[in-house]
Structure 1
Amino acid sequence: MSLIKVNRCGIKVQDLGEGGAVLLVHGWPDTHQIWRHQAEALTASGYRVVAPDLRGFGESEKPKKIKDHSLLHHVGDLIGVMDHLHVDRIHVVGHDWGATIAVLLAALRPSRVATLTCISVGHPRAMAAAGLRQREKSWYSLLFQFQDVAERWLSENNFANFRTLSRHPDPDPVIGRFRDPDALTAGLGIYRAASPPETLLQPSAPEPAPPLIPVPTMGIWGSADPTVVESAMTGTAAYVTGRWTYERIEGAGHWPQVEKPEQINQLLLSLLAQHPATSNATLPQAEPGAPQKAIEPSAEVGPGYR
């Protein structure tokens, strides 16, 4: 693991193997470790794996201000990590909030993305369009807006509410990290920055057209996912102009990469083999430890409900 300074934030990154590069982007409440099964399979198959801890999570730095946890800060972090590692184009795989971030990376910087894989969560507009059933399943997003209240609720009775809400397949390491109050608050920063209560309201004026995804894209959803309805994933097809494929994983919950790792690995390896991540350009070499340029945080990305 190395610490890369991007956008005035230190990002811890696991960089393994050689070959075509694959960026693995975790969501809440995880770290790069959630990809352990995929990292092993990908490196064994001749790929380079780049798996960061997002800002606010794991061993990466944890900004105090909510605005510093915006989705575009995360996108800028990933671009900065790629530049620092001299990676021009990369396969991007995201899960949960990491999938939302991956969607924005592919839509805003498509020349840097060879393929996109969204696990459990797709395009934010598809999530918004999934309607009342999705909003009901995402009720906790509103709870998470209440600082201190959410932290107390999640952690009381030895994190019993966290266990029940998340149904995480490997909760103990998460709880171990979240026993640090600062880590728990930082982990909720992405909800507070990217999914404020205002996103539940209908816009009063027409919004800019949502960014489309021009790269080959695969959506993966587990049939037993308790927090995301299927249409929130399948609806992503409307925002993809590249090749779209959809894979429904029977019996999997919100973490198919942990619950059904062999099936997910097979799907990833098949997609990656069809679309090699060859470079189109040579990037300038980054100075070791030099801060990397962010995507402008004021850019419009549109709402989602997570």
Structure 2
Amino acid sequence: MTSPRRFLVQTPLLEIACLEWNPEGLRTAVLAHGWPDSPESWRAVAERLALDGYRVLCPALRGFGATRFRHAHTPRSGELAALGRDLLDFVAALSLHRPLLVGHDWGARAAANACGLQPGVASHLALLSVGYGTNDPRQALPLPQARNYWYHWFMATPRGADALRDDRRAFTRYMWDTWSPAGWYEEAQFEEAARAFDNPDWAEVVLHSYRHRWGLADGDPAYAEDAARLLPAPVLTVPTLVLHGGADTCNQPATSEGKQAWFSGGYERRVLDRVGHFPQREAPHTVADAILKFCGPASA
């Protein structure tokens, strides 16, 4: 498979860096990465989808990689409504017609929120490693999951903010080392992903995202209407596939259980044995096979 094309997409607020495979594909799949990761996380999955005839686009989220805010005065918000709106702006800027939306972690929240804000925007939705309906700061949180979210609480403190800003590679490597079974990645993979964290806005977007998620920071007023539409979480009409690693020690598999009532257009959930928080990296062929089986070939 040839290397992906790299280009920039201008939206009202962002200049979004994007990787693209198979520009002439019959159907389009947009793959949104998570935290702490980068668009390259999708490489093996993207290559497989491209071989099956999909045009594959992997944008860098706000604050990551070569994506930049177009205006200095734009708040460096990481709120989840903003991520959903960014994805809708990306789809609109490229005039994509009902693409398949796939997301991991932050990217999964962005993709689900995009579908909640604009029903019909996607043909299918695939969510990796998160449970839907968990944007609410008032949500019930079992103690084992609260323990897993130690980094959320840590980043709400001045010490945690300093650790994120001053030693971002050590901070994020700890997540990679503890969220999945030992030995799952190679050093070069982490270094490739970590280059995306050198974005000048990365730390502020990340800190705001986790603080806002729990009601510890105000949101950007520009997203107030979107945020109101997403709480409580709307029922999604798009056919949805959920893939969750059975060995995920960030978001426990239980966090995506029992969500069928939130989906009216078809729903399937699979737990992947011995896979941790990064299924697209740890088991890319399994992930790609599941997506293709659920969504159908590009010629469909």
TM superposition score category, shorter chain reference: 0.7 to 0.9
Hey, what does 1:32 align to over in structure 2? 39
Q: Which residue of 2 aligns with 1:304?
A: none
TM-score by length of 2: 0.79
Q: What corresponds to 1:227 in structure 2? A: 250
Conservation of the 8 A alpha-carbon contact between 2:26 and 2:54: yes
Once the two structures are TM-superposed, the CA of residue 115 in structure 1 deviates from its matched residue by: 0.9
- 1:91 pairs with 95, 100, 103, which one? 100
CA RMSD of aligned residues (A): 2.9
Residue 7 and residue 190 in structure 1: after superposition, are their counterparts in 2 closer, same or farther (change >3 A)?
A: farther
SS in 1 for 2:65: coil
The aligned residue for residue 165 of structure 1 is: 175
Q: Secondary structure at the match of 1:72?
A: helix
Alignment partner of 1:80 out of 64, 69, 89? 89
Q: 1:154 to 1:67 in 2, by over 3 A?
A: closer
Q: Name the counterpart of 1:48.
A: 55
Please state whether the residue corresponding to 2:247 is helix, strand or coil.
coil
1:14-50 residue CA offsets vs partner (Å, 9 max, x unmatched):
2332111111011112221111011100111000112
Secondary structure in 1 aligned to 2:191?
Answer: helix
In structure 2, what is the equivalent of residue 111 of structure 1? Answer: 120
* Structure 1 pair 156–109 and aligned structure 2 pair: CA distance change class (3 A): closer
CA contact (8 A) 2:208 2:217 kept: no
Aligned to 2:156: 145
Per-residue deviation at 1:195?
A: 3.9
- CA gap 1:209/1:186 in 2 versus in 1, 3 angstroms: closer
Hey, what's the Cα distance between the residues in 2 that align with 1:16 and 1:74? 23
Q: Give how far 1:64 is off.
A: 7.5
* Cα distance in 1 between the residues matched to 2:135 and 2:61: 23
Secondary structure in structure 2 of the residue aligned to 1:111? coil
Residue 236 of structure 1 pairs with residue 255 of structure 2: no
Q: Aligned partners of 2:266 and 2:199: how far apart in 1?
A: 43
Once the 2 structures are TM-superposed, how far is the Cα of residue 156 of structure 1 from its aligned partner? 6.7
Query: Is 2:140 the counterpart of 1:133?
Result: no
Distance change in 2, residues 1:93/1:198 (3 Å): same
* Number of equivalent positions: 269
* Amino acid aligned to 1:264: V
Quote how far apart the aligned CAs of 1:182 are. Answer: 4.8
Q: In the aligned structure 2, how far is the partner of 1:15 from the partner of 1:180? A: 20
Partner of 2:271: 248
Deviates more, 1:74-83 or 1:161-170: 161-170
Q: CA deviation at 1:157?
A: 7.3
User: Residue 259 of structure 2: SS of its match in structure 1?
Assistant: helix
Q: Is the 8 A contact 2:45 2:280 kept in 1?
A: yes
The CA deviation string for residues 212-255 of structure 1, in whole angstroms up to 9 with x for no partner, is 11111111111111111122112332311221111110000100
If the length of structure 1 is used for normalisation, what is the TM-score? 0.77
2:3 is matched with none
Q: Which residue identity is paired with 1:71?
A: L
Bigger relative contact order, structure 1 or 2 (CA pairs below 8 A, ≥6 apart): 1
Q: Unpaired segments of 5 or more residues in structure 1?
A: 200-206, 279-306
Q: AA paired with 2:175?
A: L
- Aligned to 2:235, the other structure's residue is in SS state coil
Q: CA 1:86 to 1:138, structure 2 compared with 1: closer, same or farther past 3 Å?
A: same
**Residue matched to 2:282:** 259
Question: Residues 130 and 237 from structure 1, CA distance in 2 versus in 1: closer, same or farther, beyond 3 angstroms?
Answer: farther
Structure 1 residue 273 corresponds to structure 2 residue 296: yes
Structure 2 contact 30–100 (Cα < 8 Å) conserved: yes
> Which one-letter code corresponds to 2:270 in the other structure?
E
